[in-house]
């Protein structure tokens, strides 16, 4: 299902993945690639190893700047934050030996390699690899980003990153403040070249991104008032006071979330100009419902080693307070299921896998009865999420979610 999700997302925002969520990495990597290829490389290190050291040094600076209690600026390797911060020798730090289990495959260079090219920031140059260099060259756009990042980095940073010597905490903290990814995004000289690459760089992929962003603006999703519109949609059904507070808490999160975009288009009448978004929305909602059920089953197996699925289904229905939908034959359900938006909200807020599964099952039933699925089903032929739903649910409409006839 992950592979299918990436293919669908690539039709709307090519060059981006769930791993390329921080704009700061584009400037950092452009700067690092340029710096590493310009510097002589000692025999005991490859240039990629030196780049990985630069990334670990950057992470160290950010971690020290933000401290233990502030996770507002996440980087790759965030889970290692406590360990990295505890690695001080007195009041001095060295570049950490590790921030990720396998940085070569899960670090920024690997995860952003294709995206950098898609944005027109770098161009692949395989001939450089034969000379022991990183196989990328910066475009004019990449050089602008590298310069913008370089202006935020102390001239001693690279020497510290590539050496094994310690440095005082206060110096490292000040470097983290200057290069902090959350601060970079507010700088016009950094933001402008990134947006130029995102919207205009590298041909057809940029054209797709441009069209997607243009449509989001036209729908009011990127104009600054999308939170108000989402709030109106969230309250179209009657809500309890507790549910209302929960919805408000979600809407307070900064930024436009993927679920808000997909639910916006899912709730529209199917048309030719929203078909691609509705394909993505139907797939994501089916996947979300299935994943909630899988997680519940695995969680129960981990706890007891054995599960009676009929008993588990009855328990999910009872504890999730959706018994009417879980126990009725699917062909007999003609309405009353909460809207997809409300079910997604409840699912994401659920504190345990039983309640999450209850919402996930109801979400599957809701999608099967809504108009978008019929409108885009031909686009999802062979998709694993739809294949599973067909095999388990639509092929046996006389059965209920609990498995009873």
What pLDDT does 229 receive?
52
Q: Rounded distance, CA 225 to CA 326, Å?
A: 37
What pLDDT does 242 receive?
40
What pLDDT does 228 receive?
54
Tens digits of per-residue pLDDT, 165-215? 999 999 999 999 999 999 887 899 999 999 999 998 878 999 999 999 999
What pLDDT does 249 receive?
32
What pLDDT does 238 receive?
43
What pLDDT does 222 receive?
83
What pLDDT does 254 receive?
57
Range 130-166 burial, b when 16+ CB lie within 10 A, else e: eeebbbbbbbebbbbbbbbbbebbeeebbebbbeeeb
DSSP lists the bridge partners of residue 122 as 138
316-317-318-320 Cα dihedral, nearest 10 degrees = 70
Q: Rounded distance, CA 45 to CA 64, Å?
A: 26
Tens digits of per-residue pLDDT, 234-279? 444 444 444 333 333 333 335 678 889 999 999 999 999 999 999 9
Which stretches of the chain score pLDDT less than 70?
224-255, 404-405
What pLDDT does 224 receive?
61
In the chain, where the domains are located: 2-195, 220-405
What pLDDT does 185 receive?
79
């Amino acid at each position: 299902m992950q592979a299918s999700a990436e293919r669908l997302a690539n039709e709307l925002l090519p060059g981006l993945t769930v791993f390329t969520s921080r704009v700061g990495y584009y400037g950092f990597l452009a700067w690092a690639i340029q710096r590493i290829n310009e510097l002589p490389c000692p025999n005991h290190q490859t240039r990629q190893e030196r780049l990985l050291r630069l990334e670990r040094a950057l992470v160290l600076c950010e971690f020290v700047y933000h401290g233990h209690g502030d996770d507002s600026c996440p980087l790759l390797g965030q889970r290692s934050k406590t360990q990295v911060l505890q690695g001080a020798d007195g009041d001095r730090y060295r570049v950490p030996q590790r921030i990720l289990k396998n940085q070569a495959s899960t670090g920024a260079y690997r995860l952003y390699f294709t995206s950098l090219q898609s944005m027109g920031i770098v161009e692949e140059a395989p001939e450089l690899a034969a000379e022991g260099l990183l196989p990328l060259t910066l475009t004019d756009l990449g050089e602008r980003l590298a310069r913008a990042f370089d202006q935020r980095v102390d001239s001693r940073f690279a020497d510290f990153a590539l050496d094994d010597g310690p440095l005082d905490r206060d110096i490292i903290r000040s470097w983290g403040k200057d290069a902090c990814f959350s601060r970079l995004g507010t700088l016009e000289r950094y933001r402008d070249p990134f947006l130029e690459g995102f919207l205009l760089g590298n041909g057809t992929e940029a054209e797709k991104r441009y069209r997607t962003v243009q449509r989001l603006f036209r729908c009011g999703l990127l104009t600054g008032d999308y939170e108000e519109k989402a709030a109106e949609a969230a309250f179209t059904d009657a809500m309890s006071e507790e549910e209302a507070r929960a919805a408000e808490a979600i809407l307070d999160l900064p930024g436009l979330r993927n679920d808000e975009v997909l639910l916006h288009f899912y709730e529209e009448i199917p048309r030719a100009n929203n078909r691609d978004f509705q394909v993505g929305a139907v797939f994501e909602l089916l996947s979300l419902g299935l994943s909630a059920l899988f997680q519940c089953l695995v969680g129960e197996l981990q706890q007891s080693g054995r599960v009676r699925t009929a008993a588990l289904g009855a328990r999910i229905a009872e504890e999730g307070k959706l018994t009417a939908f879980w126990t009725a034959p699917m062909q007999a359900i003609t309405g009353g299921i909460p809207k997809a938006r409300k079910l997604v909200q409840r699912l994401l807020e659920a504190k345990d896998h039983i309640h999450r599964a209850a919402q996930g099952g109801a979400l599957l039933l809701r999608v099967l009865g809504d108009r978008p699925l019929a409108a885009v089903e031909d686009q999802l032929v062979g998709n694993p999420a739809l294949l599973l739903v067909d095999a388990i649910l639509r092929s046996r409409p006389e059965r209920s979610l609990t498995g009873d006839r």
